[in-house]
Amino acid sequence: MSLLSRPPEKTLGQSYHTSSNSFNFLRLIFASAVLVSHAAGMALFIQWTGAIKGFTVAEMGLYGFFIISGFLIMESAVRSGVPKFTWARILRIFPGLLVCLALIAFVAGYVYWHHVTPRAGGYGSYLHIHPSPWGYFWNNALLPSPIQSQMAIGRTPLAYPRDWNGPIWTLFYEFVCYFITLVVVKATAEWRRQVIVGITVCLWLFVVVASLTPWGAHTFSVFYLTRMEDMIRFSYLFLTAGCIYLYRDRIPDSGWLALVCGSGFLASAFLPYAHNRYPTFSFTPIDITLPLMAYAIIWLGLHLPLSRWGRRNDISYGIYIYGWPVTLFLLEWNFARWGALPFMLISWAITIPVAWASWWIVERPSLRLKRLVG
């Protein structure tokens, strides 16, 4: 009898309730972690990024996002038809992103440009600088993909790495993961569990080889196949969380197991790896242990008594897409002179009302349109 054929006394499925969980609270925490870690890095307070051998709090927050999305999107793909699923995913990503891009390109970008080059002309001159605000909007409107994107407008922003919205590059990979999940779920029907587990295990074995061998670490790095590295890492993590959803009625619900998994994942950050580059730049033992992080986060989402946080108003996406441009303005106006902790807290505090505005004015009204496709 296989390990997953007989359910334990209590399973994750028994603890999972779609209307009563703390996933939105965790997303709020992860978005805030990405924001403050990026703020510290952008202001060159490197010791405040929470880096362990190059693995930062921002990366942990990003992985947390992908884990929660993988779990919930698998549920949506199983229960929804293709049109309904596709329409819901478009409404969740694009309205907020397009408004954010428009505000950066045609409002914030001009204010910043006029501040740093006050004699360069008026708004008409701004619209014709190169790279242009029009180009920034259109090149990122269909997600800032590895093939086509634009980071800067003219010679702005001045702060390293000269990018108006650093975090949004991950939206391309998340959107691709949505449809990898959908295609596999709908194409495999009765065999979806086995097929998705098989794909996930194959990706994991690939990551193991690439992490532990100098050849793999050299080949799949920022200097060579970095886009493939990102796609493999994100899809493997996304599908791992999806597997937990599919086998939720077979996987034990154990606080001790969650503690062991979380501790094991954090400990892996201290393990040696087959190269001297940061984990961001190539596969490492951290990537091998991402399934441990997945179980720990999903367990927390099911058991933290914080289901009211963000149940109706989820501002985590707004924090994620507006935190970076808000921080750019604070850098330009020299708020970093007050020190790392005040700067990080100010960045977070100013981003929160912007994220609320994005939710109430753009995201929430857009999500109401889901009913148009049944």
- pLDDT greater than 70 at residue 81: yes
Q: Backbone phi, then psi, for 282, in 5-degree steps?
A: -170, 170
Q: What is the pLDDT of residue 329?
A: 94
Q: What is the pLDDT of residue 209?
A: 83
d(CA 61, CA 68): 11
Confidence of residue 3 (pLDDT cuts 50, 70, 90): very low
Q: What is the mean pLDDT of residues 135-157?
A: 84
d(CA 365, CA 132): 30
| 274-288 pLDDT per residue, tens | 555 544 456 777 888
Whether 149 and 139 have beta carbons less than 8 Å apart is answered as: yes
| 172-198 pLDDT per residue, tens | 999 999 999 999 999 887 888 999 999
Dihedral-angle region of residue 373 (phi above 0 means left; psi in -120 to 50 means alpha; beta otherwise): beta
Identify which has the larger pLDDT, 308 or 28. Answer: 28
User: In 142-213, where does DSSP find H-type helix?
Assistant: 169-188, 192-212
d(CA 317, CA 320): 5
Q: What is the pLDDT of residue 309?
A: 82
Nearest to 281 by CA among 355, 235, 224, 238: 224
Q: Taking the model in full, what pTM does it have? A: 0.92
Mean pLDDT, all residues of the chain? 88
d(CA 126, CA 171): 28
| 198-249 pLDDT per residue, tens | 999 999 998 888 877 777 666 666 555 567 778 888 999 999 999 999 999 9
Q: What is the pLDDT of residue 149?
A: 73
Q: What is the mean pLDDT of residues 18-38?
A: 94
Nearest to 184 by CA among 202, 166, 167, 170: 202
Q: What is the mean pLDDT of residues 138-146?
A: 84
Q: How many other CB atoms sit within 10 Å of the CB of residue 370? A: 14
Alpha-carbon torsion, ordered 99, 91, 164, 283, to 10 deg: 180
Token code pair at residue 94: 């694009």
- For 119, counting Cβ atoms within 10 Å of its Cβ (0-12 exposed, 13-18 middle, 19+ buried), the class is exposed
| 101-131 pLDDT per residue, tens | 999 999 999 999 998 888 888 999 999 999 9
The residue count for the chain? 374
Confidence of residue 252 (pLDDT cuts 50, 70, 90): very high
| Token pair 């921002």 in the structure block, residue | 58
Whether 88 and 80 have beta carbons less than 8 Å apart is answered as: yes
Bridge partners of 252, per DSSP, are 11
Q: What is the mean pLDDT of residues 288-308?
A: 94
Q: What is the pLDDT of residue 6?
A: 53
Nearest to 369 by CA among 128, 97, 118, 91: 91
Q: What is the pLDDT of residue 279?
A: 45
Q: With pLDDT > 90 as the criterion, what percentage of the chain qualifies?
A: 66
